[in-house]
Structure 1
Amino acid sequence: MTREFTSFTAPFTASGRAALVPSPPWHYAGWLINVAVRCDRAMSPAVVPPALGRLTGNGCVHFADWQATTTGDELLDPVYAQYRETIVIVEIERPDGALYNFCPFIWVDQDISLLRGLLQGWPKKLGATYLTRSLPIEHQAAAPLRAGSRLGATLTVKERRLIEAAVMLTGEPGRPYGFLANKTIGTVGWPDLTRPAAGPELSWVLPDIRDKVASAWHDAEAAITVLPHPVEELSLLGELQAERASVGWVGITVVGAQPFTP
């Protein structure tokens, strides 16, 4: 690309204005329902590259309602800022015993977020996520953050329901789970169509996250159901068993990524 072309991603133009994703920093803030789960450790070879490690059996399914910006302009035109996604996180143990997170599956409803995620090693696909919002008023429709409030979340992929979750707040302090609690290794790999038989060469990265802020987390009891799907492979984790859940808000800034060597 010539120096006159300033686009960070396609489409590549002289102004760069039409680029789907501008260069970092990328600022995110969101409302999350986090369901801590147990998965089948024996399924590790099916979802985790052996060089990275193996499943511990712990994981989390995050349902997120995000708002994101680079320059602040997106907040004035929220169709560019807002999206929802479902993030499946598994905990892995490295050969040296260190614990990290790994994301085998993630679905999002916004093309901007999809490409930003792929660049960071998050294997994003399109899917429709819905989750109950808690609003800061005492009203029956507001799902206030107090004991007994019930919230739900669903994921639909290619017009087929894949995940259903329900939580009930206990009124007790909660805790962060999944990517909120530990670093997540991302997998980057792009095929080269000049050598289509070769397949992509995979590499791994850790997102470079700054300026993380979070609200108090609110504890909840949880239930989760994974439904059959003709293509999606979430069932490779075995039957997910919900343990606890938490809800709250978080903000982070991604300024880039760092190589991770297995």
Structure 2
Amino acid sequence: MLRDFKLKGFSYPLTPKGISSVIPSFPWHYGTEYLNILFRADPSVVREFLPEPLELGPDPGLCYAAFSKWWSVSEEAKDMPSINPERTQYREAAIWASCSFKGNPGQICLFVWVDNDFTMARGWFMGFPKKLGQVYITEYHDLNPAMPHKKEGTVFKGIASANGERLMEGTITLESRINPSDLPYVMTSPLYHIRHFPNITNPNEAPSVLELVKLKAENKRLGKDIWKGSGTLKFYESEIEEHFLLRPKEVLDAYMFSSGYTFPGGEVLYSWV
């Protein structure tokens, strides 16, 4: 229970009226377009990113890189796209790894770069390790005479960079449409994340928050136009990032699809504090 605290807001900044928060309270609703490249990393390297009680997934070392476009609104501000569309759209590039918790398979986001502050703040609340960056994804226009339509053989590319460094790039060459059930399990499995907020009194003491959470999802849906194809993926070395430690040992397949869901909250599974 709060005592004598009259400032309002779900997140910073807290104000007398509470309308300036960088993110409003959940539930949050999402629509996404993905360009995903499935690959295998060194299982021993992936294991170093998974603190107990997290374990490697059923297929150790299975990972994917995701380049994505997002549209999101909160339940309390569903008219935001017509008020300030900049607060509802962003791009993201992420590296995901398969994992498991007590024998239950899932996935965890190990690195992610976004191009908007509100999604970075929201991601920290949810346990995403988000950082600001730049994300570029191929877009073709149907009426441009020099651009191809989405069909067999069409190539799409994603690029991620941050702080003046190119971090990773990947492509898909479309081959065939597939059914939703043909998507790799790791791309549709539950999300396990690590929420971390450091100690304000002593950086060497235990963090104020360090917990494993499972993110919930409702109203899940997949678009009908789901493509599978061949992929390429390259990670660049960096002086200030560690994503390249997960560099692909083998690139498997690539996928393009759309999805949507509602985030109603999460569940705390374990606390290290």
TM-score relative to the length of structure 2: 0.88
Kindly state the Cα deviation for residue 3 of structure 1 after the two structures are TM-superposed: 5.7
2:251 matched to 1:242? yes
Whether the 8 Å contact between 1:37 and 1:60 is mirrored in structure 2 is yes
SS at match of 2:216: strand
Gaps of 5+ in 1: none
- Counterpart of 2:108 in structure 1 is 102
- Counterpart of 2:69 in structure 1 is 65
2:191 matched to 1:184? yes
Kindly state the Cα deviation for residue 84 of structure 1 after the two structures are TM-superposed: 0.3
- When residues 180 and 238 of structure 1 are mapped into structure 2, their CA distance, relative to the original with a 3 A threshold, is closer
Kindly state the Cα deviation for residue 177 of structure 1 after the two structures are TM-superposed: 4.3
SS at match of 1:23: coil
RMSD: 2.1
Whether the 8 Å contact between 1:68 and 1:74 is mirrored in structure 2 is no
2:23 matched to 1:16? no
2:230 matched to 1:221? yes
2:217 matched to 1:204? no
Report 1:81-92 matches (<5 A).
81-92=88-99
Return the alpha-carbon distance in structure 2 between the equivalents of residues 143 and 49 of structure 1. 45
Gaps of 5+ in 2: none
SS at match of 2:120: helix
Report 1:168-183 matches (<5 A).
168-173=173-178, 175-177=182-184, 180-183=187-190
Return the alpha-carbon distance in structure 1 between the equivalents of residues 147 and 30 of structure 2. 23
SS at match of 1:53: strand
SS at match of 2:71: strand
2:128 matched to 1:122? yes
SS at match of 1:229: coil
SS at match of 2:65: strand
Bigger mean CA deviation after superposition, 62-71 or 166-175: 166-175
Return the alpha-carbon distance in structure 2 between the equivalents of residues 245 and 134 of structure 1. 18
Counterpart amino acid of 2:38? A
Kindly state the Cα deviation for residue 50 of structure 1 after the two structures are TM-superposed: 2.9
Whether the 8 Å contact between 2:233 and 2:248 is mirrored in structure 1 is no
Whether the 8 Å contact between 1:185 and 1:260 is mirrored in structure 2 is no
Counterpart amino acid of 1:103? C
Report 1:24-173 matches (<5 A).
24-54=26-56, 56-70=60-74, 71-76=77-82, 77-94=84-101, 96-133=102-139, 137=142, 143-173=148-178
Counterpart amino acid of 1:213? R
SS at match of 1:244: strand
> How far does the alpha carbon of each residue in 1:99-150 deviate from its partner, in whole angstroms, 9 at most, with x for none?
1111111111111000111111111111111111355x37556553310111
SS at match of 1:75: helix
Return the alpha-carbon distance in structure 1 between the equivalents of residues 78 and 148 of structure 2. 29
Return the alpha-carbon distance in structure 2 between the equivalents of residues 5 and 255 of structure 1. 24
> Following TM superposition, where does structure 1 have runs of at least 4 consecutive aligned residues deviating by more than 4 angstroms?
138-143
Same amino acid, percent of matched pairs: 24
Kindly state the Cα deviation for residue 240 of structure 1 after the two structures are TM-superposed: 4.6
Number of aligned positions between the proteins: 260
